[in-house]
Chains A and B, each alone.
Chain A
């Protein structure tokens, strides 16, 4: 049986942990609000981009003049997986669930005999994937210094990806991130960004548009931008998901610590009483012996 002193120490240490998890939960809640605002603010651009792209691309999809970013290279042998995770842990299953989805995808492709390379964005996902695919891993894109993801960060990643595409390093690029639904629900998602996927329900526009310069040239401008926008959207969703996941993980941790303190305190009081009883018995039996 643990001594009273040990129990007292245990209780103090669990209380200290509870204070930390409580503080982390509150910080995550504040950051979540900011991340959500950023994600919402970015929505109008992405929506309008989708619309313009849909109008333009529906007629071009199968034409041989279509840019390679839309049409594809004609092969799907080489795959690049862009895996976006967080830079920090202690966010519940957030990082591991994205990494798991990417790993399953990679394993399926490898089983089909495809070439797979992985470009991790964020250290935590890279740590997990390195264990399985050390040889296929490219240097991690580090966002540790970045406090609030801006479009410039997404653009830099997009440039890296597009450089690789132009260099013929891959045919298909899939982006992995976590879609933010609510504080308790984040959905790990795989999205193909190269060749571009057209938004759902794309049909020829009701009104004929005029184009200046012609469609192909606008597309040549628009498609690389679309890659950056998709990455930007994923990073913002990820930021919100990370904070949401951390908030609920820390809320659970705080509650568990509370339960533990209750149990330990009960134990401590019982032990103390048992000791007092024992001492009394000793005194009484000592007095009787006299």
Chain B
């Protein structure tokens, strides 16, 4: 299967830079899957899980708090605000994430920004619900 360059970076460091064959990304307007030869594309991310199939055959799932994804002819770059292996996403991590989003909501100035912050909080709750459903 054709692979493309995949990079996951957080403000503090480069987390992953490896060829991948298939990456599912939580975009604000729905999840989408990037494969080789995807059209150039920039989107905002919602809090969710990025699922990566590496060219080496292993699969990874990583939680991102939000950020941006850029698909260019060379590959896919995800700029994550904060990233955590999905396996470590427990009750404690959810509580911390919720606190972070509520703080952001408190700092929202315009109605537009407030709406976005609320939307994000709702997405996080959805994710939490789906995670705990999967656990049972």
Contact = CB atoms under 8 A, between A and B. Distances in A.
B46 to A, nearest CB: 11
A209 B70 CA distance: 9
B68 A218 contact: yes
Q: Summarize B's interface: helix, strand, loop or mixed.
A: mixed
A265 interface: no
B9 A211 contact: no
Interface string B95-111: 00000000000010110
B44 A221 contact: yes
A213 B44 contact: yes
Given A150-B12, A210-B42, A52 B29 contact: no
Residue in B42, B43, B113, B116 with the greatest tally of chain A CB atoms within 10 Å: B42
Interface residues of B, number: 29
A238 to B, nearest CB: 16
A222 to B, nearest CB: 7
B40 A208 contact: yes
Contacts, number: 87
Interface string B64-104: 00001010110001010100000000000000000000000
Contacts of B40: 205, 207-210
Interface residues of A, number: 36
Nearest to B77: A48
Contacts of A45: 9-14, 79
A49 interface: yes
Given A52-B70, A166-B109, A213 B13 contact: no
Interface of B: 7, 9-14, 27-29, 39-44, 68, 70, 72-73, 77, 79, 81, 107, 109-110, 112-113, 116
